[in-house]
Structure formats: structure tokens, C-alpha cells
Structure 1
Amino acid sequence: MRIPVLCLAALAVVSIPAAHAEEISPASSKISTCADCEGKLQQVLAHPRRAADRGRDEFRHPAETLAFFRVEPGMTVVDIMPSGGWFTRVLVPYLGEKGRYIGLNPDPGDNQQFAAYAGGLAEKFPLQAAKWDLAGAPVSAYNTDGLPTDVKGTVDRVLVFRSMHTLARNGIAGPELQAMHQLLKADGLLGIEQHRAKADAPDAYVDGSKGYMRQKDVIALVEKHGFELVGTSEINANPKDTADHPAGVWELPPNLRTKREELKAVGESDRMTLLFRKRP
């Protein structure tokens, strides 16, 4: 028997009271129950255009993750650092013509090294997305410092897929989180998926340079900048990942940077999946 995606997401929720004492309480998390969400999302995931992407579904769990983040068709969604567009190719058709997809790349500030990487990304991304022939939400992209003022306060969801470490290691996590806060509606939500270090990992390993961060550190960082934790999920957990790779998370699939064949059996990284609400 196939369990509906939205039910799977509800089972995975861990509700977090103010003191951060974890207890399983699916009913308190208000997982989206829109009638058409599951069917439309499954249709998007099964589309032939995803043939090259579908092999990673078993590791990235797109249906369960988007259900946990309460993403629905018609929403305005900001995708932080969409990079190669793996989730873009799910979100654009899922959000539909009444939705809006915005790819957002950080403002590098005075970080010249990051500026060399980030420069031009906002201009290039819509051109890249056009080649994917996606039907659905209109696609736009900006750097944080180039966002139109009328976007602020209009966004339903801000999603950060496996990019918090990039913000942290470049010293721009604080300003970028403040920008995310300003973008969201009063009832908007911030969803974060991030490579997870062990709770006792040394500080030098969790500064972002290895791709991994401690879950408690991410929660504290985000809450410091105007958000409140709604819940966590183990949807993207992978107990096979030792999270101690000398060259970082990129030793694992799909990168296999150090070409260690034995790591193919591990799969993709162990990841935290967190949901925050905007505090006034």
C-alpha cells in the first residue's frame, strides 16, 4: 500500500516547543492538506523531462520535503542559490501559472572571492532555466542587493536547499537571513535542508568549509535573525553518512570528488530538514 506523500511528511514531523525539547507531535505542525497537492506533485515528478533528475529522488525526497515545507501551487517561492536547478525543475511546474518562482543569489558584500563566483548568476539563471522548457510559474532571478522593493513582504516560502554552509563560510549568513525575513509575508515560512554534522563535531569542521553544519548551530543562527522553529523532520536523514570526510561532503555522491568508490554505497549526505516561521 502506498502511503500518501502528505501523510509521510506528517509522520516525519518533530514539533519543537520554545525550550527546544523534542517531542513527536504531528498534529501540532499543520502540514498542508490541500486537495490537489499530492496528485499534482506526483505528476510533476513523473514527467519525462525529469528523466535525468529522477535518479536522485531516493536521496533528495522532493515530494516529502516540499510537503513538509507546506509548499502549494499558486505560491510565491524564493529558492536560495538554485545553482543547477534540480529543485527548480520541480517547483516551477508544481507552482503553476498562478505561482511565482524567484531564484535568489546572495549579495557577496566585500567578499571578493565569493563575488567572483556569484557575479552574473542572477542574469544567467533565467537564460539557463529557459533551456529546460518548463511550463508553469514565471521564473525570475536576482542578487539580494538587486531585489525589487515590491517583492518584500509578498513571499510565501523561502527555501534553502543545502546552501547554508555557503552563506556561513563566506560570512554572509546574517545579512542574508535578514533579507529572507523581509521577503516573507507575516505568515510566511522558511524551509532549510542542510548537510548535518555530528553533534560533537569540532568547530573547525563545521565552519561551512566542509559543507556540514551542526543542527543546533543552524537553529540558533536562524532564530537569532527573527525566526522561530516550527519543526524538524528526518525525511533527509542518512545514518550511513559518517559526516567526517576529510574533503567534506563533496566526497559523497553525486560529486565523488575523491573518487572513493566505497562511498557510492553510502548515498547522499545526512541532512537536517528544518521549518521556521517568521517572527514579527
Structure 2
Amino acid sequence: MRTPILLAGLALAAMLNTAQANEPDAVLLEVIAGDWRSEANRARDGDRRPAEALTFWGLAPGMSILELQPGGGWWTEILAPYAARTGGQYHTTGADLDNPDLPERLRASRARFEERFSDRERYGKVTVLNFGATSEPLPESSFDFILSARAVHGWLRFDLLDKVMPEIAAALKPGGIFAIEQHRAPDDWDDVQQFIDTGYVSEAFVIAAAEAVGLELVERSEVNANPRDTRDHPFGVWTLPPVRITVPYGSGAPANPDFDHAPFDAIGESDRMTLRFRRPE
């Protein structure tokens, strides 16, 4: 029979464990403060809250990490050193070099990314996997943690969602985490073309897409919420920082030097969903 004192002690221990699980670990804080991170990227920490987001998602020492479509390397500057310092592995995706029709500019972009993160003493081994419409599937049951940051609208634009989502589910180890950061539309938006045109996707749509491939929603967080974001911008989410375009996205038109950025800069970065999924054991 458990005494009241024993029960109280167990409850206190559970509370302490929960509190510790919600606190960023020391290595994570160290790499977020790393002097290798660009000034521009560090300046965005207040909007993107890397310590809080990664802790919510469940990043832990020793994990095998896959970052999908790293863009300019904002998360890479954090995740690669973290993996290197904790005995983990960092992988990311790049242009599909096996695609004979791949534009040269994308080959060059991947080469620049690989060169930027080639310092093994700082970043550990950075493995770049081919990724695209005709690429081979991601390696199965290989990753503890997969991150997709601001990518779902792009998968819709290029008709990749039905290819990518099953690959993500299969690439996770049983119990592995799928972390999503995505510009968030209201749940009453249900037009895929509107998602593509604005860059905002509803949580309901993203959750349904993940659950359709067998992933389980564990939790949602409001760590990246921005109530100032009305989503009513002339050039979609790209009107806001950090992109700040002044002409329609992808139009190729010259920038408008007279565009008034002030009201959009005052909003800050977009309102974003922060979701944690897992592959069932």
C-alpha cells in the first residue's frame, strides 16, 4: 500500500521530470548562442524562438536528424552543431543531382550550401540527400527527428505533397518525431489554391495530410503564434519579414522601390502552427 508521503513524493518527481522536459538542454542553448550563426539569423530568434520550439518538438541528444529543404540554413546552423556535440547525426535534403533536367542554378545552390557547412569541427558530418519530384525515396526507418519548416505550401505549389508525406512517415523510426513549422491559415480556409497563392495553410489540412499517412498528432504549440498577422497582405506571406517582396511572388517583375513596408514590418514574421507528430511504435 502506498502511503500519502510516498504518493506525494512520486507526484513531485513527476512534476520535476515534466519541468525538466520543458526546459532547453544546455547544449541546445550553447549552439543557439554560437558565434558561427549569422547576425541576420540570430536577429530572427525573437520571432522563431528556436529553444522553445525545439524543446517542444522533443529534440534530444544523440538523435538522427533530418531537416527537409533547409533553405538558407537558419535551422541548420543550430541542428548540425547540436547533433555533432551530442553524438547524433544530421542529414538534410538538397536538389536532386540525379535529375538530368535539374537547372544549373539549383546545382550551384546545393554546392554553395555544402561548402558553407563543410567545417566538420563546427558542424559535424552534414549529409545531403537528393530530394525532388523524381528523387529516390528517403531511407526507411532511419530518423528519430524530421523537421519541416515553412515547406508545406511549396509542396502544394509543385504537386509534391502526395510524394513527400508517405516518404516522411516511412523514413521515421518507430516512435520518431515529425516536427512542423508552417505559416498558418484559419481553419475555415479550405481552398488549396489559396494556400499556394498566399503561403498560408490551415492546421486542419496539415493534420489531415499527416494522419492520412499514419502519423499521430501528439501536441500543438502556440510558441510561434502571432496575433498581429491578419494574413491580408498584397503579396501573401512573402510581404512580411524576412522576405519582404514588393511584387507578386514568382512574377519576376522588378521590385517596387515605393512600396511602404512599414505596416507589414510592424506585424513581424507570420503567424505559424507548431505541430508535433510521431510514427506509432
> What is the CA distance between 1:166 and its match in structure 2?
0.6
3-state DSSP class of the match of 1:206? helix
3-state DSSP class of the match of 2:242? coil
Equivalent of residue 72 in structure 1, options 49, 60, 78: 60
Q: Does residue 1:156 correspond to 2:144, yes or no?
A: yes
> What is the CA distance between 1:276 and its match in structure 2?
0.6
Residue type at the aligned position of 1:38: D
Equivalent of residue 169 in structure 1, options 146, 157, 169: 157
Distance 1:224 1:56, change over 3 A: same
Residue type at the aligned position of 1:244: D
3-state DSSP class of the match of 1:94? helix
Equivalent of residue 137 in structure 1, options 121, 124, 130: 124
> Could you tell me the TM-score, scaled by structure 2's length?
0.77
Distance 1:44 1:209, change over 3 A: same
Structure 2: 5+ residue stretches without partners: 1-14, 247-258
Determine the C-alpha separation between the residues in 2 that align with 1:206 and 1:31: 40
Counterparts in 2 of 1:181-196, with a 5 A limit?
181-196=169-184
Q: Does residue 1:40 correspond to 2:27, yes or no?
A: yes
Total equivalences in the alignment = 246
> What is the CA distance between 1:148 and its match in structure 2?
8.6
Match of 2:274 in 1: 273
Counterparts in 2 of 1:53-92, with a 5 A limit?
53-92=41-80
Q: Which moved more, 1:49-58 or 1:228-237?
A: 49-58
Residue type at the aligned position of 2:93: L
Residue type at the aligned position of 2:211: E
Aligned residues of 1:157 and 1:191 also touching (Cα < 8 A): yes
3-state DSSP class of the match of 1:217? helix
Structure 1: 5+ residue stretches without partners: 1-26
Determine the C-alpha separation between the residues in 2 that align with 1:202 and 1:108: 35
Match of 2:264 in 1: 263
Match of 1:210 in 2: 198
Aligned residues of 2:184 and 2:201 also touching (Cα < 8 A): yes
Structure 1 ranges of 4+ moved more than 6 A: 106-110
3-state DSSP class of the match of 2:154? helix
Aligned residues of 2:190 and 2:202 also touching (Cα < 8 A): no
| C-alpha RMSD over aligned residues | 3.0
Distance 1:172 1:204, change over 3 A: closer
Match of 2:220 in 1: 232
Aligned residues of 2:64 and 2:145 also touching (Cα < 8 A): yes
Match of 1:197 in 2: 185
Bigger Rg, which one: 2
> What is the CA distance between 1:233 and its match in structure 2?
0.4
Aligned residues of 2:182 and 2:200 also touching (Cα < 8 A): yes
Equivalent of residue 234 in structure 2, options 210, 224, 246: 246
Equivalent of residue 101 in structure 1, options 83, 87, 90: 90
Distance 1:147 1:76, change over 3 A: farther
> What is the CA distance between 1:196 and its match in structure 2?
0.4
3-state DSSP class of the match of 2:129? strand
Determine the C-alpha separation between the residues in 2 that align with 1:32 and 1:180: 29
> What is the CA distance between 1:227 and its match in structure 2?
0.8
Aligned residues of 2:22 and 2:55 also touching (Cα < 8 A): no
Distance 1:119 1:31, change over 3 A: farther
> What is the CA distance between 1:250 and its match in structure 2?
0.5
> What is the CA distance between 1:124 and its match in structure 2?
4.7
3-state DSSP class of the match of 2:163? helix
